Amino acid sequence: MALAPDAASAKAGSAQASPAKWSGLGGHAQALWGLCQGSGKDPYRAQIELAGPAFKCTCPSRKFPCKHGLGLYLLYARDASAFAETDAPAWVQDWLQSREQRAEKKIAKQAEEQTPEAIAAKEQRQQKRQEKREGNVEAGLDVLDTWLADLAHDGLAALRAKSAKDWDAMAARLVDTQAPGLAARLRRTGLMIYASSTAGWELPVARELAQLALLSQSYRRLASLPPGLQHDVRSAIGWTMNQDEVLAEAGVSDHWLICGNQTQDDGRIARRTCYLRGRDSGRWALLLQFSAGNQPLPPPLLTGTWYQGTLHFYPSAWPLRATQGADWRMPPVAPTPPPINRTEVGTLLNDYANAVAAQPFIEHFPMQLAQVTPQMENGQLILRAASSEALPVSSAFRHGWHLHALAGGAPADIFGLWSGYDFLPLTITTGHRLYVLEGESVS
């Protein structure tokens, strides 16, 4: 059932797992096969290579495996005696032979690629691609620096008089020069100007432009930066790291609580950020999921659930992003969470300052606030601690009254993200119950 591409296929496959729907069932040590009558005149030919398992069916479904392949496999799991031990028909033999031939060619190609000459040629091609991209990025940064200097000369007050097409054209230029991270950040900055009627947009725009300028200067001084910060700069500009390289890094094993999810969609790429915290290590981590165009995001890790296993962290001056190791799973019994550390707001802000001192391109810093009360002060929603320290809530937060209603004027534990200037609540825990304010949760 875990092989089903979606829930609908799993349900349809279960309906096909009946001997009455099949004829010509057979099998041997290598494969299973059978005929399933569908809506057409001729029955569909379904076959499974057990070693994979690999599936093939003559039905028109684009899902893989289709419901007939799932039904055949389920039927075998329930009643192996229904499959006669016999020689495979020609249509099965042809398929198995073609798979064997492809496997042999793949092995031969892999062996050829492992020769010293092939390895040296591959490394040389990679080096040339790397040098070409670095040259492209530097050319894009030259254009960006000039563009930012023009904005600074004209002043922020004149930004809304400019066409939004100027920002799109600059972002497209950065994409062309292989700096997609900078392009995405530039588009987001443009949205702050043209897609918002909120007053006071000039200051956050100035901050974003300053970050773009800092990234440009940092890249030009890349060789002089610490190794972790070099990875941060390259990642912010748009370089990606092979996941196998990340998994080769030493991991952190723990029980991990899913603290919250944040989903963002700019019309091109949808991104879900999942924040976790280790029960024993106390370490924060984030996992990223992406989808492009009309593709849906993968199913989320639901807020409030626990997972057990190893997280491998991407290199960074302040490691936060991670990927799951091979031992990642839900524990059979959820562990008892430790009590929330009653850390003062000032201490959390000091932790943030230390993180930014090491990695100045942190956009969102996870914070667990203990016993803070939502309040309105001069028209601004704030979260006030017992020590009277307070954090302003982000103007992008859409559930202020919901937060007030859940807290009921009393202190509550709130998890969210600190930008350095305001706080975005994602969950609130009150009365021993967890409520999700943004993203997906446990049902």
Higher-pLDDT residue of 264 and 27 is 27
- What is the Cα–Cα distance from 420 to 142, expressed in whole angstroms? 29
- What is the Cα–Cα distance from 28 to 49, expressed in whole angstroms? 10
Residue 69: its pLDDT value, please?
92
DSSP conformation letters of 80-130: GGGSEE-PPPHHHHHHHHHHHHHHHHHHHHHHHHTSHHHHHHHHHHHHHHH
Residue 196: its pLDDT value, please?
65
pLDDT higher than threshold 70 for residue 441? no
- At 442, the pLDDT band (50, 70, 90 cuts) reads very low
Structure tokens at 4: 């089903």
Longest dimension (CA), the chain: 82
Residue 312: its pLDDT value, please?
96
Q: For residues 120, 122, 123 and 125, what is the CA-based torsion angle, rounded to 10 degrees?
A: 120
pLDDT higher than threshold 80 for residue 439? no
Q: What's the one-letter identity of residue 68?
A: H
- At 261, the pLDDT band (50, 70, 90 cuts) reads very high
Among the listed ranges 33-37, 351-355, 424-428, 436-440, which one has the minimum average pLDDT value? 436-440
- What is the Cα–Cα distance from 57 to 61, expressed in whole angstroms? 9
- At 342, the pLDDT band (50, 70, 90 cuts) reads low
Q: Is the link from the previous residue into 53 a cis peptide, with omega within 30 of 0?
A: yes
Distances (CA, A) of 220 to 83, 213, 359, 417: 66, 11, 17, 30
Q: What percent of the chain has pLDDT over 70?
A: 97
Average pLDDT over residues 340-351: 83
Q: Is the link from the previous residue into 300 a cis peptide, with omega within 30 of 0?
A: no
Structure tokens at 55: 């599936």
Looking at every residue in the chain, the average pLDDT score rounds to: 89
Residue 443: its pLDDT value, please?
28
Q: For residues 320, 322, 327 and 330, what is the CA-based torsion angle, rounded to 10 degrees?
A: 70
Higher-pLDDT residue of 159 and 391 is 391
Among the listed ranges 177-191, 290-304, 428-442, which one has the minimum average pLDDT value? 428-442
pLDDT higher than threshold 90 for residue 242? no
- At 229, the pLDDT band (50, 70, 90 cuts) reads very high
Q: What's the one-letter identity of residue 2?
A: A
Residue count of the chain: 443
Residue 197: its pLDDT value, please?
66
Average pLDDT over residues 30-47: 88
Among the listed ranges 48-57, 146-155, 221-230, 288-297, which one has the minimum average pLDDT value? 288-297
Q: Which residues contact 216 (CB under 8 A, 6 or more apart)?
A: 141, 144, 145, 148
Strands of 266-305, DSSP E? 269-278, 284-292
